[in-house]
Amino acid sequence: MNITTNSVVTFHYALSDNDGKLLDSSHGQDPFTYIQGASMIVPGLEEQMEGKRVGDTFKAVIDPAKGYGDFDSQLLQQVPLEKFGEQKVEAGMQFQGGEHGVFTVKEVADGKVLLDGNHPLAGITLNFNVEIIEVREATSEELSHGHVHGPGGHHH
């Protein structure tokens, strides 16, 4: 069966940047499972999965626009360190920013905290090495619930 809209796809992947630095991998863990066409993976990878089948292995190079977006300097903001009260603040920490999502602390200096609202992989070309493990039709229940059920998916 080829991967088409509403297929449940199970795959292993290794994700690296253009310098070959490994950013993430499913190897040594359970493979990733999703519903094709349900926007559960980055758009560029979902496009390249279309038509593949069990046993296929391939490299997908995804530009930022079809990955986690371009880096937006307007999502950088500097706030006074005192806004964090007694909490220790260090580079790399993440904070929920209400309606604005998650912010990552980029730098703490001179009584100011530089926060970044971009996704950590924004602006990065994504290099996926993919191996398709399983492809099947999604059940009507999976489609109505918007997620995969059973192994690799949600368990009710």
In a domain, 152, yes or no: no
Encoded amino acid at 69, one letter: G
Residue pLDDT, tens place only, 11-28: 999 999 999 999 999 999
Residues 6+ apart with CB under 8 A from 24: 13, 14, 15
Listed range (47-61, 97-111, 119-133) with the worst mean pLDDT? 97-111
In a domain, 1, yes or no: no
In a domain, 140, yes or no: yes
Is pTM beyond 0.85? Reply is: no
Encoded amino acid at 68, one letter: Y
105 and 141 belong to one structural domain = no
Residue with tokens 């292993």: 12
51 and 92 belong to one structural domain = no
In a domain, 154, yes or no: no
**pLDDT value at 152 more than 60:** no
19 and 51 belong to one structural domain = yes
| pLDDT number for residue 55 | 97
Read off the CATH number of the domain in which 27 is found.
Answer: 3.10.50.40
Between 48 and 153, the higher pLDDT residue:
48
59 and 77 belong to one structural domain = no
| pLDDT number for residue 51 | 98
In a domain, 101, yes or no: yes
In a domain, 31, yes or no: yes
79 and 62 belong to one structural domain = no
Residue with tokens 């560029």: 44
Read off the CATH number of the domain in which 110 is found.
Answer: 2.40.10.330
17 and 52 belong to one structural domain = yes
Three-state SS for the chain is CECCCCEEEEEEEEEECCCCCEEEECCCCCCEEEECCCCCCCHHHHHHHCCCECCCEEEEEECHHHCCCCCCHHHEEEEEHHHHCCCCCCCCCEEECHHHCEEEEEEEECCEEEEECCCCCCCCCEEEEEEEEEEEECCHHHHHHCCCECCCCECC
Residue-number span of the structural domain to which 52 is assigned: 7-67+122-145
Integer Cα distance of 128 and 140 in angstroms:
30
Of residues 3, 7, 5, the one with CA closest to residue 137: 7
In a domain, 40, yes or no: yes
Q: How many domains does the chain have?
A: 2
